[in-house]
Every structure is written in C-alpha cells, then in structure tokens.
C-alpha cells in the first residue's frame, strides 16, 4: 500500500509528458492574468501623479487662495442678489440688507430726503436700511389711538431687534448659497463647493464678531447727512438734543404721521374727477436751483402718477457754471421724457450740456416738439443774471423773447398744427402767447399763480421744486412745489390739476389738492374743443384756494 501511495504522489524531478507541460503553462498564464491587468491599470493611473511629482509639484497655498477667492466672490454675490429682507418697523416698511464694505457702518436711506450714515461698527459688512414707505393702515391706527405713541419707542426697538435676527439668518443663507453655487460652477466637485459654503459662513461669523466687538452705540449722536438731510442739523438741531429730549421728538413724530396720513386720505376729499387711463399726465416743475433731492421727488411723482412727460420751466441751476453740469445727469433716468427751457440762472453752457442727452428735449427760439402726443413750444430766458458784468434788461427783453415765441405759435396755427403748451421761464415772456395756445407754463417767481389771460389762455406759474435747499438762507423754509396736469388725449385741453406741496426743510407738511377748470366743474358748459376757452363768464376766475392775482415778475427778483 505504501508503494502504491508513493506511486500516486507526483515526483517533481520526474520528467513530464508534453501534454502535462502545456496544461501547467496555460494554468500559470491564467493565474498571472489578473496581476498583469492590475499592473497595467496602476501604471495608467499613477502616470499623471508621477509626472506631477517630477515636473510640477502640488501647490496647497495657491489652491487655498483660489478657494478663498471663490468663497468671497460667491458670498458677495449672494448678499447682493438675495440678501435683502423686508422688515416692518413701527408704522414704516423698511428693507434691510448686509452689503460688502471696506469700512463697515450703517446707512439709512429716507427717500426722497437723502441718506443718513452712522459709524456704528468697523467690519467688512455694512448694514443698509431703506425706508420704503409709511404704511397707511398702521399710521392711521396711531392717529386713531394717540396713546400708542407712549409705547412706540419700545415697539420700534422690538421690531428692529427682530429684523436684525431675521436678517442674520437670511444673510447666512445668502452667503452659503452664493459661495456654494459659485464653487460648484468653478470646481464641479460637490465637496469643494460645500467647503466654499462652509467657509463663507465662517467669514460671515467672523465679520459679525468684529462688528460686535467694534460696536459704537454713540454713533447715532454723530451722524453724517447727504441729500436734503445735509441741512437737517441746522434746522432740527443736533442728534444729541433729539436723544436727550425724546419726549419732544415723540410729539413731532406724531405730528408727522398725522400729516402724512392726510396725504393718503386726500383722494377721498378731491373734487369729482377720475382721470381715465388714456389721460395725458404732465408734471410741471420749475426753479430746482441745484437741489439734489428734487430728482428723487420728481422720480417718485413720475412713478406714483404715471407721468407721460415732465416739463421744467428753468432755473435748474444756480450759477450756470460748468462745474454744476453733472448735477443734470439724472434727468435721463427719471422715467419720463424731459422737456426743458432755459431760466435766468441757466447759462448757454447749461443748455448745451443738456442738448442731446437721452430722453431730454431742449426748447428755445420758439422751437416746437411733440412728446407723448402733446405739441409743445418754448423759448429760453434772454437774460443770465449771475453774470454781474451785464446790466439786467428787465421785462422788455422778456417780452421781446415772448414775441419770438408768439411768432412761432402763429406759424404753427397757420400750418394747421396748433401748439398745446407754450413754455417760458419768466411769466412776462409767456404772456405774449395769450390767445395762441390754450395753456402756458412758467416759473421764476417761486410761488404758484393761476391766471386766465384776456384772450383765453390759462397761465400756470409753478413755484420752486427745489426751494428746500435754497431756503437755508432764509428765516422761513420755502415749500417744495410741483403740479400734475391732466390733459384730454383727444383735445389736449386741461381737465384738472393736482397741486403737490411738500414742507420745506424742518417742516412736516405734505399736501395734495385737486382743482378743476371752471368749464369742467359740475353744471358748467364745456368750452368748444376747437379754440381756447373764452374769457367770458363761462371761464370764470381761477379755481382753487391757491389761485391769486398775477404780479409783475419784476416784483420778484430771483
């Protein structure tokens, strides 16, 4: 048996037959195949690593800086695009947002008055608060229940605290979303994108910690004003007195809320006139005199009243110098076409600067234009009073310029294209258009006048739309005035007008009063559509409480 067992045990040294050698060779090749595949795969996968190690070594600093850059840019984009949050604060609706900044601080925008900046903290983020509007419902509740003013300070503090917490959470979502989205777009790797989002949250937390560490509650006592608010300290006193006498401030706030609420309630007491959607709406402004807040007021009125065309009857400047020209840049962005005539404070250089700007039409020498379906002609003021080397020519020169305007109006009438609006800065000039246009507009005297001229033309003189800034030289601030004229789209005749009056600096007055021409009042006989209304009994005296007898422009040197 032992011999038989040994005979079955293969002897390695014994010679093998040829088939056995082939079989063993095939089995060895099969067993070696996976190892060969693995070696080939590894050689292909490790070749770039070897090249990188031999030729261009990995740079962790560059990778880290790139990730930081993507994080910062993405976080900033997130704050700018989705970082704003609407927050009700007392009777006001506000928008709060964190914005990237090199110096930090807080900016409060109160349209149309201007901006208020506080050096509240030093961090790479700034707090922006925009006061959007005064909510009429909450304002009326305060007016109906004056006892609530006692708790208004606590309510505002609570609202601001709640809004700040909400803004913090909203900003975290904004920076994380922005950084993650940009990281995914740049790296196309979820782990790197999530790393960018986490890093953005870390940076925002560090910024918040820096702001908390550098928080300066005394900054409210030393604010920086811009816009119309630049004159606020000289009119309402400094912030220290407001803080120390907060009870007085509460009473003034109550008066402000009451008056602004009257503005919202004005529509219920206006005379019966409802302009239909096709009515042409003309905004008449004049004598802005370099008031930067006027542009915001005009833009707001254009939006609220859906204005079709803005008419400016001059004295937009104060000295007509080239240094003042950039003040005119916003006229192209007000939301409606802008028609302008030169005033006695506007130089020829001012007129040249405005000519050719987008959405702006400059009228002079009786030039005629058609804007929003209304045919308008105008003449610039022949005098430039800031030039003291030239003796003022007075009303005779104004009447001569008005004569050129009248000639142009006659030419248009003979051609079958009569003019709807005649414009000049000085009323003495545009009076020469009496009987040649149904409506004449002017400025210059810094108060409103509404007169029916002998030949049937209605002369409407606008007050100063920028008097608030000039009024710091006077004892009593001038109000800011503008008017909205409603013209029938078919006949281009005046149907009604709204007189808008905003209190000057330091005054909390806001009024809107509606007036109807005599021929449009209930029971009156409408004037024929083919000619200006006559000066007879059907026309009557100027309507509205603000209408007053006309005065000679020479009595009001400006």
HEC sequence for 83-103 = CCEEEEECCEEEEEEEEECCC
How many DSSP H helices and E strands does the chain contain?
14, 19
Residue 155 lies in a domain: yes
Per-residue HEC secondary structure of 494-516 comes to EEEEEEEEECCCCCCCEEEEEEC
489/309 Cα distance (integer angstroms): 13
The backbone torsions φ and ψ at residue 529, rounded to the nearest 5 degrees and listed phi first, read -75, -10
Number of structural domains in the chain: 2
Residue 486: closest CA among 470, 473, 498: 498
Strand-pairing partners, residue 86, are 95
321 with 191, same domain: the answer is no
Left, alpha or beta for 404 (phi > 0: left; psi -120 to 50: alpha)? Answer: alpha
| 194 and 91 both lie in a single domain | yes
285 — phi, psi (to 5°)?
Answer: -125, 160
User: Edge-to-edge, what's the strand order for the sheet holding 494-502?
Assistant: 360-363, 338-341, 309-312, 280-285, 480-487, 494-502, 510-515
556 part of a folded domain: no
List all residues 6 or more positions away from 314 whose beta carbon is below 8 Å from its beta carbon: 286, 287, 340, 341, 342, 343, 344, 345, 346, 380, 381, 425, 443, 444
Q: Per-residue pLDDT for 552 more than 60?
A: no
Q: Answer whether residue 323 shows pLDDT above 70.
A: yes
pLDDT of residue 387: 77
Write down how long the chain is. Answer: 558
Q: How many alpha carbons lie under 13 Å from residue 524 in its C-beta half-sphere?
A: 17
Helix, strand, coil % in the chain, rounded to nearest 5: 45, 20, 35
Tell me, yes or no, whether 427 lies in a domain: yes
pLDDT, tens only, 119-129: 888 889 898 88
- Structure tokens given for 494: 């005046």
296 & 421 share domain = yes
Tokens representing residue 46 in the block: 């490790």
Last residue of a domain, one of 233, 254, 270: 233
Q: Could you tell me if residue 383 is inside a domain?
A: yes
What average pLDDT does range 90-94 have in this prediction?
80
Residue 235, pLDDT > 50, answer: no
**Statement to judge: residues 379 and 508 lie in one domain:** yes
Query: Are 304 and 199 in a shared domain?
Result: no
Indicate the range of 94-98, 136-140, 344-348, 383-387 predicted with least confidence: 136-140
Residue 413 near residue 387 (C-beta atoms within 8 A): no
- Within this chain, do residues 80 and 116 fall inside the same structural domain, yes or no? yes
Domain-ending residue, one of 215, 233, 251? 233
CA distance 398 to 400: 5
Cα→Cα distances 219→36, 102, 223, Å: 75, 18, 7
Q: Are residues 221 and 264 in the same domain?
A: no
In a domain, 531, yes or no: no
**pLDDT (mean) for 221-229:** 61
Q: Do 331 and 255 lie in a common domain?
A: yes
pLDDT of residue 228: 53
> In this structure, what are the phi and psi dihedrals at residue 296, rounded to the nearest 5 degrees?
-70, -40
* pLDDT computed for residue 465 by the predictor: 87
- Is residue 402's pLDDT more than 90? yes
Indicate whether 448 and 500 sit together in one domain. Answer: yes
Residue 516's closest CA among 500, 499, 532, 528? 499
Phi-psi region of 227 (alpha: psi -120 to 50; beta: other; left: phi over 0): left
Name which of 90, 91, 120, 94 is nearest 107 in CA terms: 120
Q: Which of 233, 268, 294 is the last residue of a domain?
A: 233
Task: Compute the distance between CA of residue 225 and CA of residue 123 in angstroms, rounded to an integer.
Answer: 21
pLDDT digits (tens, 9 = 90+) for 45-80: 544 444 444 444 557 888 888 889 999 999 999 988
- 223 plus 288 within the same structural domain: no
Lowest-confidence segment of 19-28, 459-468, 491-500 by average pLDDT: 19-28
Alpha carbon dihedral 43, 47, 49, 50, in 10-degree steps, equals 100
Long-range contacts (CB closer than 8 Å, 24 or more residues apart) made by 411-419: 412/368, 412/375, 412/377, 417/368, 417/375, 418/375, 419/368, 419/375, 419/376, 419/377
The per-residue pLDDT for 20 is 57
Residue 39 lies in a domain: no
What does the mean pLDDT of the chain come to?
A: 76
Task: Write out the E strands in 297-432.
Answer: 309-312, 338-341, 360-363, 367-371, 374-378, 421-423
| CATH number of the domain to which 300 belongs | 3.60.21.10
372 with 223, same domain: the answer is no
Question: Which phi-psi region, left, alpha or beta, contains residue 356 (left: φ > 0; alpha: ψ -120 to 50)?
Answer: left
- Domain of residue 76: give its range: 63-233
- Rounded Cα–Cα distance for residues 491 and 374 (Å): 10
Choice among 321-325, 380-384, 423-427, 554-558 with the minimum mean pLDDT: 554-558
With 90 as the cut, is the pLDDT of residue 449 above it? Answer: yes
Do residue 220 and residue 250 come from a single domain? no
User: Residue 161 domain-assigned?
Assistant: yes
The answer to the question of residue 551 being in a domain is: no
């Amino acid at each position: 048996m032992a011999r038989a067992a040994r005979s079955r045990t293969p002897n390695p040294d014994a010679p093998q037959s040829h088939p056995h050698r082939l079989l063993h060779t095939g089995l060895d090749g099969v067993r070696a195949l996976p190892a060969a595949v693995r070696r080939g795969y590894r050689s292909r996968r490790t070749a770039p690593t070897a090249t990188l190690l031999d030729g261009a070594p990995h740079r962790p600093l560059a990778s880290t800086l790139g990730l930081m850059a993507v994080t910062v840019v993405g976080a900033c984009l997130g704050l700018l695009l989705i970082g704003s949050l609407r927050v009700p604060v007392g009777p006001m609706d506000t928008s709060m947002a964190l914005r990237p900044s090199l110096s930090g601080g807080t900016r409060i925008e109160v349209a149309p008055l201007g901006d208020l900046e506080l050096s509240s903290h030093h961090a790479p983020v700034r707090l922006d608060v925009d006061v959007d509007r005064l909510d009429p419902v909450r304002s009326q509740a305060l007016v109906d229940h004056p006892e609530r003013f006692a708790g208004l300070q606590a309510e505002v503090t609570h609202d601001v605290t709640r809004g700040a917490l909400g803004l913090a959470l909203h900003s975290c979502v904004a920076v994380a979303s922005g950084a993650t989205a940009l990281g995914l777009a740049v790296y196309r790797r979820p782990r790197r994108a999530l790393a960018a989002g986490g890093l953005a949250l870390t940076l925002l937390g560090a910024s918040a910690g820096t702001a908390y560490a550098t928080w300066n509650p005394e900054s409210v006592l030393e604010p920086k004003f811009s816009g119309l608010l630049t004159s606020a300290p000289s009119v309402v006193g400094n912030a220290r007195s407001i803080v120390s006498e907060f009870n007085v401030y509460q009473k003034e706030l109550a008066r402000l809320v009451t008056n602004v609420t009257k503005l919202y309630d004005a529509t219920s007491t206006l005379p019966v006139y409802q302009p239909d959607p096709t009515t042409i709406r003309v905004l008449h402004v004049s004598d802005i005199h370099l008031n930067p807040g006027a542009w915001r007021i005009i833009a707001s009125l254009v939006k609220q009243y859906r204005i079709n065309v803005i008419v400016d009857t001059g004295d937009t400047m104060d000295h007509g110098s080239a240094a003042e020209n950039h003040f005119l840049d916003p006229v192209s962005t007000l939301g409606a076409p802008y028609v302008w005539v030169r005033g006695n404070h506007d130089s020829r250089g001012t007129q040249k600067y405005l000519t050719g700007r987008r959405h702006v039409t400059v009228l002079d020498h009786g030039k005629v234009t058609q804007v929003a379906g209304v045919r308008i002609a105008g003449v610039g003021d022949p005098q430039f009073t800031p030039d003291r080397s030239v003796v003022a020519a007075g009303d005779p020169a104004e009447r001569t310029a008005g004569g050129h305007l009248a000639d142009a109006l006659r030419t248009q009438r003979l051609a079958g294209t009569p003019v709807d609006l005649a414009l000049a800065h000085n009323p003495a000039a545009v009076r020469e258009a009496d009987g040649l246009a149904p409506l004449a507009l002017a400025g210059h005297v810094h108060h409103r006048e509404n007169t029916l001229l002998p030949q049937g033309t209605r002369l409407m003189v606008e007050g100063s739309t920028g008097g608030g800034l000039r009024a710091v030289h006077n004892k009593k601030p001038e109000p800011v005035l503008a008017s909205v004229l409603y013209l029938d789209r078919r006949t281009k005749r005046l149907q009604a007008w709204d007189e808008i009056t905003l209190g000057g600096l330091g005054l909390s007055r806001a009024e809107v009063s509606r007036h109807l021409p005599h021929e449009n009042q209930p029971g009156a006989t409408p004037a024929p559509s083919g000619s200006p209304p006559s000066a007879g009994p059907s026309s009557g005296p100027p309507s509205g409480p603000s209408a007053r007898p006309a005065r000679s422009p020479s009595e009001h040197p400006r």
